Structure 1
């Protein structure tokens, strides 16, 4: 029995559709459909009921899921241990980060490391999705909040200060916010609520409870662009915005929020020479920028 066939079936179960499974596996929907059909014909086992609404696991498939999960974990353990063998400073490192922090902070750090170590192949993925380090979707993650997997080793590496900003055009039209009145008459931009960013939305609601939210977005870059357009106030990273002439930081009755960024790596990978070298390098670089990341 080919493990790849079982892996495809497991991905369809987990993600609920052929297209979602294909994205997770890094392949195409026709390939997933063809491989799944061939697997069912070869084994004589019907694993899914097909309908317009999508694919539903049959009772047989549901009974096999636990075994497929164990097979996948075994295969991933073998892959991680092979990847963690002592090969020196060569091989690949995939880093996942979030939104502006990956673009503005991690990309330059990774480029410098890549310049020093030409045999290391580096890849940066900036995505709101939390990549699973245990399943090898990435090697190292830099993100706010905590890691919820037991086999992940994490370390606090940075603190990011945020402030409240508006464009000169917005302030000319609406005036400075009156925090004593709850910022009535003001417009604000909000982030979609996710656990790592809850402190930002809670802080803004606290100082401006009567302001009107005119837009929710899932990223800092979109917040920045909307604030620069002159339509609303926004909570933004000071590192990214303080030097911009297009926005002005507004004094607030409470200090701006601070998000803690943590680095996470799977315990099987942390002592690999290339991983260890990159993590040490990244931590040093972030320490050098600590005053920029969290200005007092």
Structure 2
């Protein structure tokens, strides 16, 4: 039987809530600008006050116990009340507060997620937003982020995921490359061409590969960990690359290659722990991101282009 030893500290409850959302003491320490030791000490103090363990360590990070879930429900009420108080002090009727840490891939994060976050913060000045970009699959331990925007699939234990958008990737080359090597007119004619793609030693998302299984058995001649240097390498005539339409659309120096023959559709997901998805700030991030993706749909999923030989 749990021995109740008095009311817990609201600060300790809010720290527990942050642990529930981020899953790691180190990530919580970064978010709250404190130390791992302090976070551990405050959780221990909360456990003593409540008379039981609020967290259990699992392969997927820290998870709430039954007592922890009840404590987090109280913490969410405190967070909501503090948000209302901050909003009233700022003379705003509905102002979100807190700190939301978002992880996203490089290009999608920079070109789609960042504008959505900027619009959100413009309307909610008390909200602190952090965007960390890296191209990777969903963290299996769902640790370190309030929300992850990931390509491919969003399968992990105890994760809630929302489809953000599909986007299309097609083959492109630089003008100089086409003049030097010629324009392939079939998938078979791609054999022997140079390709630009992700660094295979670092690529975690199979859906982003440039399609060697469909095109050639040869590895990409130019490899990079981010889509931005890949696009610049294609622009500089290093080879043919499988590039997102939202990155290259509107730039005349990218030449479409076999757009009616080969393309790849990749889905982006917004994924988080259930505790994070209940946060009004996180839900707002998802909402603004969905709006931004819908607004940019013409860039994410445009029709294929046809290369006019005379343009060369």
TM-score by length of 1: 0.68
CA shift for structure 1 position 259: 0.4
Aligned to 2:119: 112
Distance 1:274 1:243 in 2: 34
User: Equivalent of 2:265, from 244, 258, 270?
Assistant: 258
Q: 1:125 to 1:243 in 2, by over 3 A?
A: same
Does 1:201 find its partner at 2:192?
no
- Deviation for aligned residue 1:22: 8.6
C-alpha separation in 1, matches of 2:227 and 2:234: 10
C-alpha distance in structure 1 between counterparts of 2:137 and 2:101, whole Å: 14
Deviations 1:238-268 (A, max 9, x none): 1110211221112245241010001112111
User: What are the equivalent positions in structure 2 for 1:77-116 lying under 5 Å apart?
Assistant: 82=75, 85-86=79-80, 87=83, 89-116=96-123
Distance in 1, matches of 2:188 and 2:262, equals 18
Residue 177 of structure 2 is aligned to residue 188 of structure 1: no
Structure 1: distance between partners of 2:209 and 2:278: 37
Q: For residues 282 and 253 of structure 1, do their structure 2 counterparts lie closer, same or farther at Cα, with a shift above 3 Å needed?
A: closer
Q: Please say if residues 186 and 258 of structure 2, whose CA atoms lie closer than 8 Å, have aligned partners that are also in contact.
A: no
1:116-135 aligned at under 5 Å gives the runs: 116-129=123-136, 132=139
User: Where does the alignment leave 5 or more consecutive residues of structure 2 unmatched?
Assistant: 1-24, 38-55, 85-95, 304-312
Q: Report the Cα distance in structure 1 between the residues aligned to 2:275 and 2:230, rounded to whole angstroms.
A: 38
Work out the number of aligned pairs and report it.
240
Q: Residues 202, 230 of structure 1: CA spacing in aligned structure 2 closer, same or farther, 3 A cutoff?
A: closer
Please tell me the root mean square deviation across aligned C-alpha atoms, in Å: 3.6
Structure 1 distance, partners of 2:138, 2:219, is: 34
2:81 equivalent to 1:73: no
Does the CA-based 8 Å contact 2:105-2:133 persist in structure 1?
A: yes
The Cα offsets for residues 45-103 of structure 1, whole Å up to 9 and x where unpaired, read as xxxxxxxxxxxxxxxxxxxxxx8659943499767973684235111111110111101
Query: What is the CA-CA distance between 1:186 and the residue it aligns to?
Result: 1.2
TM-score (norm 2): 0.65
Looking at structure 1, the residues matched to 75 and 260 of structure 2 have their Cα atoms a distance apart, in angstroms, of: 54
Q: Are 2:278 and 1:274 equivalent residues in the alignment?
A: no
The answer to whether the 8 Å contact 2:104/2:134 transfers is: yes
The alpha-carbon distance between structure 1 residues 134 and 119, as it changes in their structure 2 partners (threshold 3 A), is farther
Structure 1 unmatched runs, 5+: 1-20, 36-66
